[in-house]
Amino acid sequence: MDNQNIRIRLKAYDHRVLDTSTKEIVNTAKRMGAQVLRWRETEMNRFA
């Protein structure tokens, strides 16, 4: 069980909510001893 991966895709209308949720998930994973391989900031797609 050494080689388990998880991918999480989040969607939100407000980028601040998305950033907060992502940081919370990453911090929880790190606290549990997981190694976070890649974390990107939110891409801003605006639709008017």
Can you tell me which residue has the tokens 């895709």? 9
Instruction: Write down the pTM of the prediction.
Output: 0.65
Q: What is the mean pLDDT of the chain?
A: 80
Return the amino acid letter for 29.
Answer: A
pLDDT at 10 over 70: yes
User: What pLDDT is stored for residue 48 in this prediction?
Assistant: 58
User: What pLDDT is stored for residue 44 in this prediction?
Assistant: 66
Q: What is the percentage of the chain residues whose pLDDT exceeds 90?
A: 10
Instruction: Give tens-digit pLDDT for 19-42.
Output: 899 899 989 989 998 888 776 665
Query: How many beta carbons lie within 10 A of that of residue 25, not counting itself?
Result: 15
